[in-house]
Structure 1
Amino acid sequence: MRIVDVCAFYTPHGGGVRTYMHRKLAAAAAAGHEMIVLAPGADYSSTTVEGGVVITIPSPRLALDRRYRYFDDEAMLHRKLDEWRPDVVEVSSPWSSAAMVARWRGSATRSMVMHADPLSAYAYRWFGGVASVATIDRGFDRFWRHLRFLGDAMDFVICASDDLAARLQKGGLTKVATVPMGVEPGMFSPAKRDKALREELLARCELTPTATLLLGIGRYSSEKRWGMVIDAAIAAGATAPIGVLLVGEGRTRRALEARVAGSPHVVVAGPVHDRARLADIMASADALVHGCEAETFCMVGAEAAASGLPIIAPDRGGAADHVQACWGRHYRAGSARSLRDAIAAFVAASPQPRIPLSAIPVRTMDDHFAELFATYAAKTIGMPRAA
């Protein structure tokens, strides 16, 4: 198959989208597919990447984040799709680029991959304290109508978690399929647990080895709710010794550091770019604590589960799916009190036996891409290529 991915949030500066797309390009080439990424850029360019092609189309910068650009020339995007005559067109954002693809007159199979969950990231977070999800959905009916329009124009709406898939189906989208993502092969394992490393990390939290070590990993931004995690952990720590190590980077780091002032048991650290080192840290902690209910999959949750790490996660969003893979706790999304109680219950039940390696089913990114391409092939093989 020839697959063209219209990827509005691809940027050469890095990030999760770039990492995912490069893995996807390599997986497509290995499976014998031809894959092209169309992305907004400073100018027109064509670059061979991992056996595929990344093409940028001249586009303006986003006002709120100058690292990114956005498609604003629908006619040019349509011309590029006409030139490449794809068997499958993917679009990786439910915003204007998806509407542009929906209006394209080609006959290729079309797929919208839900790499973003705007309602959870914004609407539910902003108004969840004063209104129910159902009430918020009614208030954002215009966006739901937009999603249903896109869903009707696509052959597939691909979700990485059952939670998001169920919510979209409840909202009236009918072509929804769940294709979970996976972890980097061979990287994460309970066998990497290191007692000395655990003691070292607890020492950074000014605690002894008898304490519980909670690990939080992710971007320092408002939707990740790290402030709530900090408050809940400090409150739970009033009755038991609990250390929290946060690993990440982002615009709210200084605010988080100020929030933990006076509590030596919470450390707001920088990112760990060495993936092997990160895998060692994951396997050596006692639990992963996650605050965000807007994850479409939650890669860090999958990595923690593959590391044999119990997970304390909200009861909505992609992170919730990973709690079933190992011992852990759900708590009510957005509630610091519920999270405090979940942490306290987890600590009270500790120490728990570590999960045997043989009991952990580890889904890899290779598994994800194989299933995704097979889903497209079942619809596409034998169809004439788009005119």
Structure 2
Amino acid sequence: MRIVRLANFVTTHSGGLRTALRNLGEGYQSAGHEAVLIVPGRERSDKMTSQGRVITLPSAPLPRTGGYRVMTGRRELTELLDELEPDRLEVSDRTSLRWTGGWARNRGVASVMVSHESLAGLLGVWGVPKRDALADKFNLRTAEFFDQIICTTSFAAAEFRRLGVPNLIEVPLGVDLDGFHPARYDEAVRERYARPGELLIAFASRLSSQKRPELAVDTIAALRNDKVPAVLAVAGDGVRRAALAYRAARLPVRFTGHISDRSAVAALLASADVVLAPGPVETFGMTALEALACGTPVVVNETSALPEVVGDGGVGVPGTPEGFAEGVRRLMERPEADRRAAARARAEHFGWPQAVDGFLRAHGALPEVALAGRQRPVAVLRPAVPRPAGPMA
């Protein structure tokens, strides 16, 4: 079966979405399917990779987004989709690529939309008035255009569930349990950022307003004010970098920039005492899960989906410097062996094989016999919404 996947907002520096696309594609290939991924980029390319065929279409950058590009040429993309003749279509952008659900409907191709974010939450971050009503209207239209809607957490699914959307499936994503492992702890990495007796806190994310990186910096200030010898390593880059550096000028904060080597990221996460995930609208939080896999507990924003992801491997707190500082203290009160074991144990609930199975089930591309004896993801399967023919929108 040929599964063609479309995704915008993917760059060489993007984290969670890029990681998810790669692992799902590799899983599809391993299951005997043909995976094709179409993404925006600086110039056109077409290459075979471990996740299948990856086609890059020249696309214009979006200003002030840290390098994100968006495929906007409908004619070019339509011609490419017609040429590829997919058996299944999987879309990871419900804004600028929603129209492809209409393309699939008109050609009799089964389609899946993956909701990687809470639209109502994002609208709230951007200060859009009447965000719930606007999100409801948009989400209903999206559900009508696609055979299945996949959400990775109950948090992300809530805005569809409240509308009674019947074609909704919950499938948790996964984490690389081998690449991100407590064995990645490296004393040399720890010494690079913290002196003996200091508490090493890490924040690894794109430096954009959506991720609330300033809260990580302010947490260090709150801890230092309470005489806690905490230091912060910030791994990532983005439009907020200069403002954050100014904000952290008098604090023990070190900016590493973007780290492309995943083993180096794993070493940092494993060598830290605590990892912070302050984003208020995170719907899964790949970095938080990678930290747990490394045996490092995480403090997360209680308004996001992350409390349900991290479980007892971390704590959810109010999105304030004082709240996050208290979360750090609570975690550090636990014996080190206990808190690290709890973090790793929680991550082990989220393997990529289970996630791949869940996505393939949504595509109707995984024979039930192949599931015998395998752990299935938590998924609620409901009949798809009947979709009348009509123009693409």
* Residue number in structure 2 paired with 1:21: 21
Match of 2:284 among 271, 274, 297: 297
Match of 2:309 among 322, 341, 344: 322
Take 1:117 and 1:284, find their aligned partners in 2: how far apart are those partners? 31
Match of 1:343 among 304, 315, 328: 328
Kept after mapping to 1: 8 A contact 2:113/2:146: yes
User: How far off its partner does 1:47 sit?
Assistant: 3.2
* Residue number in structure 1 paired with 2:208: 221
Q: What is the total number of aligned residue pairs between the two structures?
A: 363
Kept after mapping to 1: 8 A contact 2:110/2:147: yes
Q: Are 1:272 and 2:259 an aligned pair?
A: yes
The answer to which of 367-376 and 301-310 deviates more is 367-376
Structure 2 gap segments, 5+ residues each: 369-393
User: How far off its partner does 1:33 sit?
Assistant: 0.6
Q: TM-score, normalised by structure 1?
A: 0.81
Match of 2:154 among 154, 162, 184: 162
Kept after mapping to 2: 8 A contact 1:29/1:35: yes
Q: Match for 2:156: what amino acid?
A: L
* Residue number in structure 2 paired with 1:113: 114
Match of 2:317 among 327, 331, 337: 331
Kept after mapping to 1: 8 A contact 2:22/2:51: no
Q: Are 1:365 and 2:352 an aligned pair?
A: yes
Change (3 A) 1:282 1:64: closer
Change (3 A) 1:120 1:47: same
Kept after mapping to 2: 8 A contact 1:109/1:379: no
Q: Specify the SS of the correspondent of 1:374.
A: helix
Q: TM-score, normalised by structure 2?
A: 0.80
Match of 1:283 among 270, 284, 301: 270
Change (3 A) 1:66 1:272: closer
* Residue number in structure 1 paired with 2:34: 34
Q: Match for 2:190: what amino acid?
A: R
**Structure 1 segment 124-135 matched on structure 2, within 5 A:** 124-127=124-127
Take 2:60 and 2:272, find their aligned partners in 1: how far apart are those partners? 43
Q: Match for 2:178: what amino acid?
A: G
* Residue number in structure 2 paired with 1:93: 93
Change (3 A) 1:198 1:353: farther
Take 2:192 and 2:64, find their aligned partners in 1: how far apart are those partners? 39
Change (3 A) 1:374 1:228: same
Change (3 A) 1:356 1:87: same
User: How far off its partner does 1:32 sit?
Assistant: 0.8
Match of 1:198 among 190, 201, 205: 190
Change (3 A) 1:146 1:350: same
Take 2:253 and 2:41, find their aligned partners in 1: how far apart are those partners? 40
* Residue number in structure 1 paired with 2:165: 173
